[in-house]
């Protein structure tokens, strides 16, 4: 995949935050020990007027502001999410129209739990490689759901990342990518259900850890690399603990993953998680930096990427959009009542 890669990137994180302690106090739980156990202090919360479509549009606009790509040259948009606002009617068309990329455009919405965004990067990369499009736009975004009182309530949050993939002015080449996929039902949401269900501890060893370690091992084999060859590594982060553990299992250090580790501050943004992690790394990356990324989506699968940052990153107008760190810091705390209103937990007829 010589010369194909990321041309620009953007991300978006809603500014509202709720602390784990605040959620715990409502349910009579020990917030401090839950925070410690999950490695999550607080999570982002979408406002009443934010959803996967608005977050996707904001992230895509941020990516466009940083580069000189004409939206009309974008030939494909894939939006990965498990919280598309409509069951039938694509999010991708809203994004395409909002950024001015329609109508000569391939569009599809993707769903693969938390890895639908990276699946979009793979599809765009393939379309560019096949010369079917000049640029592809891959987005991963979610306003993830958690049933009131469920353990997921401490982590399920909102945010997204957008990546323009192409051959020209590539700031980071995608050297290798591969996936590891099995039918492993660790987490799911049936049609018509408001909240997802999960298999408790089954989501750990046989699901998250097996798929990420297998995929990561395969991509390093493909690239002929070792963990120490990378400057940065990003792993899916359903909480603050799992990515640290999986990094250690694979031989990566905390220093390699800390720039891309956002879960402690914003929670699990699902399809946005590794996308925002990668955006955070690109916010600070220098030419020549090697980046390792492995996403994870329940159900289950992992997408792995071996990436090298190029000299072109110096020409990208990174300052034209807020960095991930700035968005993490730009926050306003809300109480559980406001959270309940914002996330549609309240019912009336």
Report the C-alpha gap between 262 and 184 in whole angstroms. 26
Place of tokens 């940052």: 309
Place of tokens 């999986």: 246
Would you give the distance in Å from CA 33 to the centre of its chain?
Answer: 26
Pick from 156, 150, 179, 147: nearest CA to 296: 179
Catalytically annotated residue among 67, 82, 176, 215: 82
Cβ burial 301-321 (10 Å sphere, 16+ → b, else e): bbbbbbbbbbebbeebebeeb
Please report how close the Cβ of residue 188 comes to another protein at its closest, in angstroms. 14
CB-wise, 95 or 300, nearer to another protein? Answer: 300
Q: Check if the beta carbon of residue 23 is closer than 8 Å to that of residue 153.
A: yes
CB-wise, 171 or 207, nearer to another protein? Answer: 207
Catalytically annotated residue among 84, 198, 211, 236: 236
Catalytically annotated residue among 114, 124, 153, 215: 114
Indicate the pairing of strand 290-294 with strand 232-235: parallel
28 makes contact with another protein (CB under 8 A): no
**Joined tokens for residue 39:** 């490695």
84 as an active site residue: the answer is no
Please report how close the Cβ of residue 190 comes to another protein at its closest, in angstroms. 17
CB-wise, 80 or 301, nearer to another protein? Answer: 301
Q: Check if the beta carbon of residue 302 is closer than 8 Å to that of residue 294.
A: yes
Please report how close the Cβ of residue 206 comes to another protein at its closest, in angstroms. 4
Task: Tell me, residue by residue from 132 to 171, as one string, x for binding to another protein by CB under 8 A and - for no binding.
Answer: ----------------------------------------
Task: Tell me, residue by residue from 172 to 201, as one string, x for binding to another protein by CB under 8 A and - for no binding.
Answer: ---------------------------xxx
Report the C-alpha gap between 119 and 110 in whole angstroms. 8
Cα distances from 20 to residues 48, 80, 176, 327, in angstroms, run 20, 27, 38, 19
103 makes contact with another protein (CB under 8 A): no
CB-wise, 21 or 73, nearer to another protein? Answer: 21
114 as an active site residue: the answer is yes
CB-wise, 27 or 202, nearer to another protein? Answer: 202
Please state whether the peptide bond connecting residue 103 to the residue before it is cis, i.e. omega within 30 degrees of 0: yes
CB-wise, 90 or 199, nearer to another protein? Answer: 199
236 as an active site residue: the answer is yes
Report the C-alpha gap between 139 and 117 in whole angstroms. 5
Count other Cβ atoms within 10 Å, centred on residue 151: 16
Please report how close the Cβ of residue 30 comes to another protein at its closest, in angstroms. 7
Q: How many residues bind another protein (CB under 8 A)?
A: 9
Please report how close the Cβ of residue 204 comes to another protein at its closest, in angstroms. 8
Q: Within 200-259, which residues bind another protein (CB under 8 A)?
A: 200-202, 205-206
Please report how close the Cβ of residue 274 comes to another protein at its closest, in angstroms. 25
List Cβ neighbours of 254 (8 Å cut-off, separation of 6 or more).
244, 247
33 makes contact with another protein (CB under 8 A): yes
Residues binding another protein (CB under 8 A): 30, 33, 37, 199-202, 205-206
List active site positions: 82, 114, 236
């Amino acid at each position: 995949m010589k010369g194909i890669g990321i041309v620009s990137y953007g991300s978006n994180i809603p500014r509202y935050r709720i602390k784990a302690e605040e959620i715990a106090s409502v349910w009579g739980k020990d917030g401090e020990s839950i925070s410690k156990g999950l490695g999550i202090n607080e999570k982002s919360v979408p406002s009443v007027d934010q959803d996967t479509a608005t977050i996707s549009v904001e992230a895509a606009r941020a990516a466009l502001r940083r580069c000189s790509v004409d939206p009309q040259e974008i030939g494909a948009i894939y939006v990965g999410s498990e919280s598309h606002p409509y069951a039938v009617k694509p999010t991708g068309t809203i994004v395409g129209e909002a950024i001015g990329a329609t109508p000569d455009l391939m569009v599809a919405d993707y769903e693969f739990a938390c890895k639908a965004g990276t699946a979009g990067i793979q599809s765009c990369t393939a379309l560019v490689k096949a010369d079917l499009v000049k640029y592809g736009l891959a987005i991963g975004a979610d306003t993830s759901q958690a049933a009131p009182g469920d353990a997921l309530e401490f982590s399920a949050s909102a945010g997204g990342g957008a990546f323009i993939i192409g051959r020209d002015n590539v700031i980071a080449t995608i050297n290798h990518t591969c996936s590891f996929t099995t039918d492993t039902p660790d987490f799911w949401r049936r049609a018509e259900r408001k909240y997802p269900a999960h298999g408790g501890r089954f989501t750990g060893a046989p699901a998250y850890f097996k798929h990420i370690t297998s995929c990561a091992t395969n991509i390093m084999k493909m690239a002929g690399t070792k963990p120490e060859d990378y400057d940065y590594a990003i792993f899916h982060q359903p909480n603050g603990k799992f990515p640290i553990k999986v990094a250690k299992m694979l031989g990566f250090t905390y220093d390699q993953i800390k720039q891309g580790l956002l879960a402690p501050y914003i929670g699990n943004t699902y399809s946005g998680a590794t996308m925002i992690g990668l955006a955070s790394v690109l916010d600070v990356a220098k030419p020549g930096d090697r980046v390792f990324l492995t996403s994870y989506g329940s159900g289950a699968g992992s997408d792995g990427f071996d990436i090298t940052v190029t000299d072109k990153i110096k020409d990208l107008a990174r300052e034209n959009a807020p960095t991930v760190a700035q968005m993490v810091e730009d926050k306003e705390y809300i109480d559980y009542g406001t959270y309940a209103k914002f996330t549609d937990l309240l019912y009336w007829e």
